[in-house]
Structure 1
């Protein structure tokens, strides 16, 4: 039997009213971020007031360093996150271990992962994904556009090409950043050649290895320079002092997230690297 048109229209109207009556999802008021650039993006979106905790890689802005820490984002302890009673956990796709994130979901915690591969396009996706999860999509599109514009302007500025090496000291031997790392991506954006482009990821670099690589420029993170006894002591260290970088005055320390995080301040990282390469 054919349904009368008026009855079909009434059904559609009633269905629409039912959907309209459903309340919109409530924005998360207690957010935990896992990953330094994720935290930075949250603040750049003007949503830092919703953060109740972050992880040890969240070094910028300063306000982020004053929040409770739940451990390191690649080795998150379940109890540390649960103790913060979050409505939402925003995590880098590199956060883990996976079992911990699954257990959090099993406890009813909303856990959302965002793009975090070492590419500039991943950064733009990350910004918009974080904004979407925080229900501020317009702000996300604006921030992504601003970062794109800043990166384009920084890349267009003239700067010499140098054979560069990014080093990290994590309480052990010096580690050099090879290909498929955020550091390598930032070097490429600045027009610099990665002295370790033949290797993947982070690998130990010895004094002898530094001599063979003969980098024209060495970048060490601020935290790594401090762990090495300060930048001057690092410059005078075995292997480093004999490099063209040290002899030509191109050994510099940079904010950890600037060189390692590929975050929303990547334009600043490009400008600093180009200036240091001169």
Structure 2
């Protein structure tokens, strides 16, 4: 749900996942705009008063979204015309490029947010510093923080929480129905696959910043949903993995974000990364990429991405490696 939790293993993992997405997306979006003073903060779950906002003769809502997945969901719910600004991690859909840009969610300032004269702030619960949100709330603006936990159930709940605040329950039902339809189609394909690809999820931000997904990560969950057989070290979260361990694991497929592969210089650059370049995945050019937010955001495109990946991570029709 959308309330603050104690610092747990899930919370630490969620922070790492969100940080990885933000690092990946931080340099992709437009340059942030500087603006004046800020308002206060609340949380999704305390939606009683906020949910009533998009009603009757009240002023036209002016919404600021903070967090790429939050922004994507709000647009997918059809609230794009109400969104006046979003943070730098908000790179999808295309329409987001037409609105004001704020600092990245992990380093926000209250003044530029307040300068947008917002009536509502929808923010990832990974937004920092918290005192900036508190200042925005103190200025009389409703601030609702949304959980960014990865997972299918969490993605559904995230859509519902944002829809409740925006008064768009019907649109949420349609979005979730489409996601579930895609996930069911993916599940059927997975069941029919006789040779799942042993898959390593690699996060990269240049040749000197290469991590692999361990246990208990959203990336691993994504691989499993798409029918791949996860390959990982004996660790949790995202961590470096030695060249020797990668060679020994020898994955059939490598899954990465588009931005991650670009940061290495494409496939040729990946071939030069010690360990990875020696795997069957790279030798056979079975390196699968998707747009960063689609892959790691666990937003409304989750079902679509999983369905696409089921074909990529099944080797039934793949040519022999021999």
Q: TM-score, normalised by structure 1?
A: 0.83
How far apart are the structure 1 equivalents of 2:214 and 2:68? 20
In the TM superposition, residue 242 of structure 1 has moved relative to its aligned partner by 0.2
- The residue aligned with 2:278 is 242
In the TM superposition, residue 48 of structure 1 has moved relative to its aligned partner by 1.0
Extract structure 1 runs of 4+ deviating beyond 3 A: 23-28, 205-209
Structure 1: unaligned runs, 5 residues or longer: 1-22
Residues 1:110 and 2:145 are matched in the alignment: no
Structure 2: unaligned runs, 5 residues or longer: 1-54, 316-322
Instruction: Find the partner of 1:177 among 209, 213, 237.
Output: 213
Q: Secondary structure at the match of 1:74?
A: helix
How far apart are the structure 2 equivalents of 1:25 and 1:127? 26
CA change 1:138–1:38 in 2 (3 A) is: same
CA change 1:34–1:206 in 2 (3 A) is: farther
Instruction: Find the partner of 1:55 among 87, 90, 99.
Output: 87
Instruction: Find the partner of 1:207 among 243, 246, 263.
Output: 243
Instruction: Find the partner of 1:153 among 185, 194, 208.
Output: 185
- The residue aligned with 2:232 is 196
Q: Deviations over 1:102-128 (max 9, x none)?
A: 222122221112232111101101111
In the TM superposition, residue 60 of structure 1 has moved relative to its aligned partner by 1.6
CA change 1:238–1:121 in 2 (3 A) is: same
How far apart are the structure 2 equivalents of 1:226 and 1:108? 43
CA change 1:197–1:137 in 2 (3 A) is: farther
CA change 1:56–1:176 in 2 (3 A) is: farther
Q: Deviations over 1:151-192 (max 9, x none)?
A: 112221244422212222235411222233322221121122
CA change 1:268–1:141 in 2 (3 A) is: closer
Which structure has the bigger radius of gyration? Answer: 1
CA change 1:205–1:106 in 2 (3 A) is: farther
- Tell me, yes or no, if the aligned pair for 2:271 and 2:278 is still in contact at 8 Å: no
How far apart are the structure 2 equivalents of 1:128 and 1:135? 10
Residues 1:162 and 2:194 are matched in the alignment: no
In the TM superposition, residue 197 of structure 1 has moved relative to its aligned partner by 6.5
Q: Secondary structure at the match of 2:101?
A: coil
Which sits farther off after the overlay, 184-193 or 198-207? Answer: 198-207
Q: TM-score, normalised by structure 2?
A: 0.72
How far apart are the structure 1 equivalents of 2:60 and 2:126? 22
